[in-house]
Amino acid sequence: MAKKVLEVKNLVKSFNGFVAIDDISFSLEEGEILGFLGPNGAGKSTTIYCILGLIEPDEGEIHIFGKDFKNHRSEIMTQVNYASAEFHLPWNLNLWENLYVYANLYEVPDAKKRITELLQIFEMTNWRNVAIRDLSTGIRARASLCKALLNKPKLLLLDEPMASMDPDVVDKGINLLKQIQKEENITILYTSHNMWEIEEIANNVIFINHGKIMARGTPLELTQNVLDVEAGEANLRDVFIHLSRTK
């Protein structure tokens, strides 16, 4: 039986009476890529922030690598990483300096070698001395992914990492991510509003709305069950629209 990397049990969080997460439970097994879907304000990012320890849940438990997150945060976080297109690396530092700072934060052994390796994988060696502010949006997103992979994380939380990127950049990013996920057996929780991204990368999908889990399964299972059709291919776009409009 595969090891459980992340276990979220009965998570509840509300803000001034507004219920953002309403008793959700899910788990991720080693090497699994879970697509975490839902409309804006559904509670995806709040769930991720709870997992990162940046928001304290009202109720529920989070276990990562079998350990209680609340009591072992720093220890656990050395093997976890996070990226979101919403957040940048410091603008005035060049790419290499940024990665070197984060390598120190995560205490990456042989940091310079790991940075060089990642820059090569992501075809970013030419930008190593360029300040983040001078990089295009696509390259910046790749830089964030490099940062997220620095410590060879066992659990990677990606919150719309490729938002506002053109399809070509997304395609390259997804393929690189798939490659490195396979090589390093990373478990990934991935949110996106681009259904193609999720169909490409996720083994399983959870759909949440109003803080509740509405559906879960493989992309194909969701398509068949939610849309009630004998589909041969996943169609998460229609699943998304259907579930978003379900009261």
Partner 1 sequence: MNFNRVFAIVLRHIFTTMHQLERFFDVIISPVLVLILWGFLSKYVQNIQSQQLAAFLLGGMILWVVFEKVSTDIGVNFMFEIWDRNIINLLASPITFWEFLTGLLTISFIKIIIALISMWLMAGIFYNFQITSLGFGLALLWINLFIFAVSFGIFNVSLVLRYGHSIGPLTWILPFFVQPFAAVFYPVNILPPFFQKIAWVIPISHVFEGMRYTLKFGQFDFNSFWLATLLNMAYMAGSVAFFTFIFKKVLKSGRLVKLI
Tokens found for residue 244: 């978003």
- Which listed range, 73-81, 163-171, 173-181, 232-240, lies at the site for partner 1 (CB under 8 A)? 73-81
Positions in 135-154 near partner 1 (CB under 8 A): 144, 147
Tokens found for residue 185: 């057996």
Using CB under 8 A as the binding rule, whether residue 89 contacts partner 1 is answered as yes
CA nearest to 159, candidates 186, 191, 137: 191
| Closest CB to partner 1 among residues 56, 168 | 56
Tokens found for residue 232: 């041969």
Task: Report the nearest approach of partner 1 to the CB of residue 222 (Å).
Answer: 29
Location of structure tokens 């090569």? 120
Task: Report the nearest approach of partner 1 to the CB of residue 39 (Å).
Answer: 19
CA distance 186 to 204: 15
CA distance 56 to 171: 35
Q: What Rg, from alpha-carbon coordinates, does the chain have? A: 18
Using CB under 8 A as the binding rule, whether residue 164 contacts partner 1 is answered as no
Using CB under 8 A as the binding rule, whether residue 109 contacts partner 1 is answered as no
Using CB under 8 A as the binding rule, whether residue 97 contacts partner 1 is answered as yes
Helix (H) or strand (E) run with residue 141 in it: helix 137-149
Residue 157 vs residues 32, 154, 208, 220, 230: alpha-carbon distances, Å: 12, 10, 17, 23, 32
Compose the 31-70 pattern: x for residues touching partner 1 by CB under 8 A, - for all others.
--------------xx--x--x-xxx--------------
Task: Report the nearest approach of partner 1 to the CB of residue 12 (Å).
Answer: 13
How many CB atoms are located within 10 Å of the residue 238 CB? Answer: 15
Using CB under 8 A as the binding rule, whether residue 163 contacts partner 1 is answered as no
Using CB under 8 A as the binding rule, whether residue 117 contacts partner 1 is answered as no
Using CB under 8 A, list all residues that contact partner 1: 13, 15, 45-46, 49, 52, 54-56, 73-75, 77-78, 81-82, 84, 86-94, 97, 100-102, 104-107, 131, 144, 147, 157
